[in-house]
Structure 1
Amino acid sequence: MQLVTAEVGPFKSINEPQTVHVDPSVTVLVGMNEAGKTVCLQALEKSDDTVELAAFDPVEDYPRKDLSTYLKQHKSKPARVTKFTYRLSKEELDELNGDLRTNLRTDFEFSILRFYDNTLTIEISVDETPVLASLRDEPGLSSDVKAALASITRIRDIPGTLTQIGLTEKDKPWLAKIQQRINKTNWDSIVEWEVWEWLKPRVPKFAFFGEYELLPSKINLADLANRVHQVQTWKAQNPNQSARLAPKVLESQHRGVLALLRMADISVEDFTKPSGYESLKARLEAVSIQLTDQILEFWKQNEDLEVEVDIKADPNDVAPFNNGPNLYLRIKNRRHRGVSTPFRQRSRGFTWFFSFLVWFDSVQHQLEADRELRARDLILLLDEPGLNLHALAQADFLRYIDDLANKHQVLYTTHSPFMIHTDRLHQVRVVEDRVKVGTVISDTVSSSDPRTIFPLQAALGWTLAQNLFISERNLLVEGPSDLLYLKALSSIIEAQGRVGLREEITIVPAGGLDKVVTFIALLGASGLKLAVLHDYQGRPEQKLEDLVRQKLISPKAVLDASQFRDLASLGKSWRPSDTEDLLSPSLYLDYFSRTFEKQLGGKKVTETDLPPGDRILHRIERYLADAGTLLRPSGGFNHYAVASKFVSEPPASVDPDTLARFEALFRAVNTLL
């Protein structure tokens, strides 16, 4: 069974009811701090939480600005606070129709409305006609009864209609069963009530996990046992009362430790038994190892962490920790020779993850232990999961959420760009706190405050950087002109049946040698395959040499233009060269002249016009300076404009030496990557 929509409000900062369209698997609430993301989850939790401890309290939950007015009507007319609409799976629908002889369609939905006095109302619509038809087909019914049933549209009307008909001996027990069904409810529609009774034990419950549910570093077992005893005594004295009314002596940290003990099959009473230390500790350590192994399936930031459990007394500690044994939780880091620290003081992300697993196991255990709840699905409500995790660890946790979503619907809040799947923006709901309006929840981002949707923009920017310009295999070049020449020449060479650059290799223009170095330092650590093609100044580049020495890139993966300039000595760096020097001077000058034809007055510049030198770009710039020709205010000329001209109007033919140089370059890069 899936939650389709949740209407929330008025509730705390939600002044006007807000409709949240719930994704079948994962729904992400994105917004600024104090926008109302957590408030939305709290409203869902208080509607029907798994541990049955949360409840609506108008003084605490109703929007404060209207509270005085509302309290005057609360007892006589409590306000609606949530409305949940559900849809059944095909398997559930088939089972329901088979059990009750209904004919509900695949689009069947029903709603549960909850009010501030913690009562509920059901909105459900079921056609009784198919059920009535099955009743008319009951074997042995007399023809008179069947004829009378033909005009009936409600089961509730059957007894009254048959009062004037003489019933046979087979008709009477049939009618008695009908009367029993009617007597069970005061609902107008018997079938609607029966459908609801079938649905009720299957409606998903909400399970909320936030920052306050973290396990403690230590807890006094005598104090814990006393708190448990108080709750058990109250339940024994009030067997028909809701657990929500029990004394609030068990806080989240106590329930977390009880969950850990339950996983180890230990009760708090076990700690009072003499000579039980070794057995208890062994069972707790076994559970800790099991949970740590579960975490490390998704936790890839530091796989040397483990949770250590100890039980001991400390009469010198402060109360209540000086009264009998305490349970201590610590995190041990094998990377640092087994140094351990209290659970709450180290690796906040790891402690959150560990606490979540303990809590989640506890919730599942409670459902399994309760026969009435066993068939229910869970809807997980996670408040700022991964808040204390490194960006890459957040990506790990996203995988864990996807794993949870295979069995449970998940709603979580975040303002981190790394907790958003950019290929699933349909799962995002934007939460804003608008002036004089309050919390507003929307599934559209077009009119949202830029500050609110910043995480989405940042996530998209990160994805673009990772996927649009960067792939598994990357050739880093200094500028966009290099990219254009390499792309164009690769196409020309491949058209001749020769070796061009492999399609899966992405050319990444970094914007200068300094940025090439930064790209290598950042991307090399991500396990990507990298090669570099840079301009050669006539001497080794110190920054690249440093990266090679730090083993961030292989020396073989650092290429320069001069290595492919002389076909007789390929692979040798010998004189200053740019990528443009791999083109024959006549070919490059032809495109230079055509690009700046208007500024040059139609003159075709040839190599004999240029001063001597190693690099065609420098020779042209010196020629322009000597001739007093100004192609741009800062001097020189726009190299990219010539490259753009080359790509937009590729040459009909290219000289053999130019083709050979670029083919040698492509072969080298293909081999490296």
Structure 2
Amino acid sequence: MVEGHIWQMYLSPAMPKFLYFDDYKLLEGKINLPSLQQRQSAGQLTDADETALGLLELAGTSLKDLISDEGYETAKAELEAIGLDITQKVFDFWKQNQDLDVEFDLKADSKDAPPYNNGVNLYIRIKNRRHGVTVPFDQRSKGFIWFFSFLVWFDAVKSRVNTNNDLILLLDEPGLNLHALAQADFLAYIRELSEQHQIIYTTHSPFMVDSAYLEDVRVVEDRVKEGTKITRELAGSSDESVFPLQAALGYSIAQNLFIAKKNLLVEGPADLILLQHMGSVLEANGKQGLNDAILVPVGGLDKLATFVALLGANKLKIAVLHDRASTPHQKLEDLIRQRLIERKRVLDFSMFLDESANEADIEDLLPSELYIDAFNASYAKELKGKTLTVEELGDHPRIVERINKWLKQNGITLLKDGGFNHYRVAQAALPMLTSESLKPEELAIFDKLFKRVSDAF
């Protein structure tokens, strides 16, 4: 008896109400109000009806007011006002297209198909300010309809379920119809909604994992002989279970990698360490260096064009410094022609040699003797006492190709696919590249390079 009294008087009223959602209620673009009123009276509301009533509640009006003749002007004014409010509310979160307005209208249309030919209809339209036209709400993208409907239904979710209790919302795979960036917008709304209600949701999408709140994430998996386990410990979790977290973390790292105002794209890590080192050498002597630009190695010339297109879409300042072959790189030329990057921001190493040079890697900006010494030092074990000299090199304009040819002629295999590790040799070259060891004209090449890079931004 005492336990029952305690439960009824103290514990039960304080218990939160759990709401589980796996099927989300989409709003229709046209609602026949008399039919909606009949279904409400009969207790036969559909999912779309529930969302429509949520919209009316958000508008501060009712079915009775909208249907009655004397209430039209008042209801219309309220709907216009709520149109502005809903537009602001939705587009505080929906960032995919900010040139949209939500508009409402009330009218009867006896020529429409049943049931819309009987009584007043509520029309929801989306206006595109950029083009000056409106379209029915249900002709927008499925993702936008879902996002809008979710916001309308959950904005006053306590009224939807007729309770004053605290709510715990259980959402199964929300946002499946949303674009990856729109899922990030949805996460922002979830974060705001969580200020009023506790929310637990499941997802397989890495874009529904907020990398700023990884401590909130739990892994759910069905383990052999253990059953379903929910844990925050990733050790021992399957690859399939942790993949969304890995993808979310990788996406976050990729986004945060390019945080500088100026980003200089280079092909590989050898370019990165040589340019960083020579920038430091010149800056120590009061000359031009990299300053506030960061170097981004992209993994080869073929990937440069892709990175330019991706980073350019993020409104970042980017320039390219690449190896030059005998002919211009077609993809980079296409990007220039398409105005995705200005020509002054596409640089190659041959620009910093004499006018006759039409091919060059960064290694060709270094003294040949110094680079050969670095090659011999870094591969002393593999060369087994054999030493490369400048005199043994051929006449190819690029020293890397001359070394590759020498290796092939002498039957020396340093890498499975041929050639040698440029990064390894670049590391060996760094201690040799000092202001004391380099001639003024050799330093002047890099001084010219860094000034040109600075002008490119």
TM-score category (smaller protein): 0.7 to 0.9
Residue 158 of structure 1 is matched in structure 2 by none
Residue 521 of structure 1 is matched in structure 2 by 309
Indicate the RMSD between aligned Cα atoms, in angstroms: 3.4
Q: Is the Cα contact below 8 Å between 2:312 and 2:340 reproduced in 1?
A: yes
- Aligned equivalents of 2:67 and 2:148: distance in 1? 27
Change (3 A) 1:315 1:634: closer
Residue 129 of structure 1 is matched in structure 2 by none
Residue 243 of structure 1 is matched in structure 2 by none
Q: Which amino acid aligns with 1:221?
A: L
Q: CA deviation at 1:560?
A: 0.9
Residue 510 of structure 1 is matched in structure 2 by 298
Change (3 A) 1:581 1:275: same
Q: 2:334 aligns with which of 546, 559, 562?
A: 546
Q: CA deviation at 1:520?
A: 0.8
Q: Is the Cα contact below 8 Å between 1:470 and 1:508 reproduced in 2?
A: no
Q: 1:666 aligns with which of 435, 450, 454?
A: 450
Residue 267 of structure 1 is matched in structure 2 by 62
Residue-by-residue CA offset, 1:253-281 (whole Å, 9 max, x unaligned): 22222222223332222244235444433
1:309 alignment partner, SS class: strand
Q: 2:390 aligns with which of 604, 607, 621?
A: 607
More deviation in 450-459 or 356-365?
A: 356-365
Size of the aligned set, in residue pairs, is 455
Change (3 A) 1:637 1:397: same
Give the TM-score, by structure 2 length: 0.85
2:328 alignment partner, SS class: coil
Residue identity over aligned pairs, in percent, reads 51
Residue 326 of structure 1 is matched in structure 2 by 121
Kindly indicate whether residue 234 of structure 2 is the aligned counterpart of residue 451 of structure 1.
no
1:451 alignment partner, SS class: helix
Q: CA deviation at 1:544?
A: 1.4
Change (3 A) 1:399 1:268: closer
- Aligned equivalents of 1:364 and 1:632: distance in 2? 66
Q: CA deviation at 1:409?
A: 2.9
Residue 100 of structure 2 is matched in structure 1 by 305
More deviation in 657-666 or 310-319?
A: 310-319
Q: Which amino acid aligns with 1:426?
A: E
Change (3 A) 1:495 1:419: same
Kindly indicate whether residue 365 of structure 2 is the aligned counterpart of residue 582 of structure 1.
yes
Kindly indicate whether residue 176 of structure 2 is the aligned counterpart of residue 387 of structure 1.
yes
Q: CA deviation at 1:624?
A: 4.2
- Aligned equivalents of 1:633 and 1:274: distance in 2? 84
| 1:639-658 correspondence runs (5 A) | 639-647=422-430, 651=433, 653-656=436-439, 657-658=441-442
Kindly indicate whether residue 193 of structure 2 is the aligned counterpart of residue 404 of structure 1.
yes
1:212 alignment partner, SS class: coil
Residue-by-residue CA offset, 1:551-601 (whole Å, 9 max, x unaligned): 2112221111122235xxxxx795321100111112111112222334545
Q: CA deviation at 1:615?
A: 2.2
1:331 alignment partner, SS class: strand
More deviation in 617-626 or 423-432?
A: 617-626
Change (3 A) 1:635 1:384: closer
Kindly indicate whether residue 78 of structure 2 is the aligned counterpart of residue 283 of structure 1.
yes
- Aligned equivalents of 1:527 and 1:326: distance in 2? 44
Q: Is the Cα contact below 8 Å between 2:65 and 2:72 reproduced in 1?
A: no
Residue 487 of structure 1 is matched in structure 2 by 276
Q: 2:149 aligns with which of 355, 361, 365?
A: 355
Q: 2:350 aligns with which of 542, 562, 571?
A: 562
Q: CA deviation at 1:441?
A: 2.6
Residue-by-residue CA offset, 1:628-668 (whole Å, 9 max, x unaligned): 65555655443333123235x55564303333322332343
Q: Which amino acid aligns with 1:500?
A: G
Q: Which amino acid aligns with 1:386?
A: G
Change (3 A) 1:224 1:573: farther
- Aligned equivalents of 2:338 and 2:375: distance in 1? 41
Q: Which amino acid aligns with 2:445?
A: R
Q: Is the Cα contact below 8 Å between 1:418 and 1:459 reproduced in 2?
A: yes
Kindly indicate whether residue 31 of structure 2 is the aligned counterpart of residue 219 of structure 1.
yes
Q: Which amino acid aligns with 1:351?
A: I
Change (3 A) 1:382 1:189: closer
Change (3 A) 1:385 1:612: same
Q: CA deviation at 1:513?
A: 1.4
Residue 466 of structure 1 is matched in structure 2 by 255
Give the TM-score, by structure 1 length: 0.60
- Aligned equivalents of 2:230 and 2:414: distance in 1? 55
Q: Which amino acid aligns with 1:219?
A: I
Q: Which amino acid aligns with 1:517?
A: A
Q: CA deviation at 1:314?
A: 4.3
Residue 214 of structure 2 is matched in structure 1 by 425
Q: Is the Cα contact below 8 Å between 2:54 and 2:160 reproduced in 1?
A: no
Q: CA deviation at 1:435?
A: 6.9
Change (3 A) 1:599 1:319: closer
Q: Is the Cα contact below 8 Å between 1:490 and 1:500 reproduced in 2?
A: yes
- Aligned equivalents of 2:345 and 2:242: distance in 1? 40
Residue 140 of structure 2 is matched in structure 1 by 346
Residue 2 of structure 2 is matched in structure 1 by 187
Change (3 A) 1:520 1:293: same
Q: Is the Cα contact below 8 Å between 2:153 and 2:160 reproduced in 1?
A: no
- Aligned equivalents of 2:425 and 2:225: distance in 1? 57
Unaligned 5+ segments in structure 1 are 1-185, 231-247, 567-571
1:453 alignment partner, SS class: helix
Residue-by-residue CA offset, 1:111-157 (whole Å, 9 max, x unaligned): xxxxxxxxxxxxxxxxxxxxxxxxxxxxxxxxxxxxxxxxxxxxxxx
- Aligned equivalents of 1:200 and 1:628: distance in 2? 84
- Aligned equivalents of 2:131 and 2:23: distance in 1? 28
- Aligned equivalents of 2:169 and 2:7: distance in 1? 28
- Aligned equivalents of 1:309 and 1:272: distance in 2? 15
2:391 alignment partner, SS class: helix
Change (3 A) 1:573 1:417: farther
- Aligned equivalents of 2:214 and 2:362: distance in 1? 41
Change (3 A) 1:578 1:289: same
- Using CA pairs under 8 Å that are at least 6 residues apart, name the structure with larger relative contact order, 1 or 2: 1
1:385 alignment partner, SS class: coil
- Aligned equivalents of 2:356 and 2:96: distance in 1? 41
Q: Is the Cα contact below 8 Å between 1:291 and 1:354 reproduced in 2?
A: no
Unaligned 5+ segments in structure 2 are none
Q: 2:49 aligns with which of 238, 249, 254?
A: 254
- Aligned equivalents of 1:227 and 1:590: distance in 2? 87
Change (3 A) 1:645 1:299: same
- Aligned equivalents of 2:166 and 2:308: distance in 1? 48
- Aligned equivalents of 1:212 and 1:601: distance in 2? 70
Q: Is the Cα contact below 8 Å between 2:321 and 2:348 reproduced in 1?
A: yes
